[in-house]
Amino acid sequence: MAAVTLPDPRTAWYAAEWIIRIGALAAVPLRRSPAATASWLLLIFFLPVPGLVLFLMIGRPHFPEWRQQRWKALHPYFADIAARIEADAPPGECSEIGGFAHRLGRLPACGGNMVELIDDYDGMIDRLVGDIDGAAERVDILVYIFANDMVGRRIAAALGRARTRGVAVRVMFDPVGSHHWRRGTLKLLRGIDVDVREALPVRWLWRRTRSDMRNHRKLFAIDGRVGYAGSQNLVTKDFRPGVVNRELVARVTGPAVASLMAVVAGDWSLETEDEPAAVTIPDAVGHARVQLLPSGADYPLEGFETLLVWQLHRACDRVVLVTPYFIPDEAVLAAMRSAAARGVTVDLIVSAVVDQHIVHLAQCSYYDALLSAGIRIHLFRDFLLHAKNVSVDSRLGIVGSSNVDLRSFQLNEEASLLLYDSDAIGALERIQEAYLDGSDCVDLMTWRARPKVRRLIENIARIMSPLL
């Protein structure tokens, strides 16, 4: 009987690596941007086996089939709420923006609201605690970080007081964003009889989910009549040593709170399979026209990015873009350069204080091209400017949770509040002017004088930026 000759292990490994490389050419480009495709192919070609493992873990920017089916089952729920907002609330923005945002996020613009912009970190916590203490029926919290630190315990104490009054309280937080405090927060909230769940819990076996696709929204609703949307988490402002956060949050009353409630109830239903909570359309209390634009992998288009690119191309006078993390794709870069070429003043405000160093290096690699195109870059001093907001030609304001980066565009669940009336937009522009007063402008010649080693490191980080 002839002996069976086993293939040489080195030859088998070599062949497997080339099978992975060739297979990647067919699989990786599907439903990905050119930048993301190039980064994944580069990683897999240099490190086939580790690259394949990483790609299988985080390389597919969509939710599993079971969650997609749950999302489709919620479509009638959102359609009903949208129809009732349009029927019961004062008319919203009838321009192209409102209609387009409605198609992107399934929720309409509406009038009859009051909007207060809060850029005082501790003041926002004070207002939220006060609203919780005034709650009579229900409190709903959806947040990326809920810590069991001083701020988290203060919020929990208010939630506990609400429970003793018989108020229904539901809290959902992201377990990855809150991983430092996760166990303590669960224990804290369960100890006061709060119904608490984790958004997009990470599972590796049954109903497997990805660890990098996160619920990054920060939405709070009290009695269905008061809502908060913005960038602020429920954690102390200096939870990172040496870094103090500065945020921006919109406190809203009026019919638009129904949209906020719908998003929170939908996210709760996706995780629990409970029937989504009924939503009542609040009465008109003011004259502000606003619209909530949810975005994320559940939606067919990158809602915030799609709207931003369109408005950059439509801008005539001035755009102010505020974000802590700026890793754009080619569509955003082209729209910014096009606006500047048309004579539009484009101000990009980012933070001089750094909390994520690799992201910061990738971000810096874009500065030369932006400055050369005439875009002004401002580095905000002293604080980590974690606020995310945009103003366009004094006709549109955006306050929300979405950064100008590929993660917020494609992977994270986000929520942006669109402001259409002049008072609210004017308030946002005054806050942005304060940012500019607290910033240093980047000079192109000075920037180009930075060390060549620094440039090399920035470019390496940029190559990997679609994976960050």
Q: Please say whether the beta carbons of 268 and 234 come within 8 A.
A: no
The residue out of 294, 329, 360 marking a domain boundary is 294
402, 275: one domain: no
Residue 370 three-state SS: helix
What's the structural domain count of the chain?
Answer: 3
386 falls within a domain: yes
5 falls within a domain: no
249 falls within a domain: yes
Provide the H-helix boundaries in 134-281: 150-164, 182-190, 257-272
Give the residue among 424, 79, 413, 420 at the shortest CA–CA distance from 251: 424
Separation CA 60–CA 158 (nearest Å): 40
Separation CA 212–CA 61 (nearest Å): 9
Q: Are strands 404-405 and 195-198 parallel, antiparallel or unpaired?
A: unpaired
396 falls within a domain: yes
117, 221: one domain: yes
Question: What integer pLDDT is reported at residue 58 of this predicted model?
Answer: 64
453 falls within a domain: yes
Burial class (CB in 10 A: 0-12, 13-18, 19+), 205: exposed
Range of the domain at 178: 65-294
103, 247: one domain: yes
Which residues fall within 8 angstroms of residue 370, CB to CB, at 6 or more apart? 333, 336, 337, 348, 377
8 falls within a domain: no
215, 314: one domain: no
91, 109: one domain: yes
211, 259: one domain: yes
Angle, nearest 10°, between helix axes 182-190 and 150-164? 20
Strand partners, 349: 322, 378
Strands (E), 205-265: 219-222, 226-230, 245-246, 249-253
245, 335: one domain: no
Question: What integer pLDDT is reported at residue 370 of this predicted model?
Answer: 98
397 falls within a domain: yes
51, 156: one domain: no
Question: Could you tell me the two tokens for 452?
Answer: 């060549």
**Domain of residue 366, CATH code:** 3.30.870.10
Helix (H) or strand (E) holding 78: helix 75-88
69, 97: one domain: yes
Question: What integer pLDDT is reported at residue 384 of this predicted model?
Answer: 97
Question: Residue 334 carries which side chain, given as an amino acid letter?
Answer: A
Separation CA 147–CA 160 (nearest Å): 16
287, 260: one domain: yes
376, 352: one domain: yes
Provide the H-helix boundaries in 273-386: 303-314, 330-341, 357-364, 367-372
Mean pLDDT in each 10-residue stretch from start to end of the chain (468 residues)?
Answer: 64 79 74 67 78 69 83 96 91 79 96 97 98 98 98 98 98 96 97 96 67 91 97 97 96 98 97 93 96 93 95 98 95 97 98 94 96 98 97 97 91 96 97 98 96 93 72
Question: What integer pLDDT is reported at residue 21 of this predicted model?
Answer: 82
438 falls within a domain: yes
381, 281: one domain: no
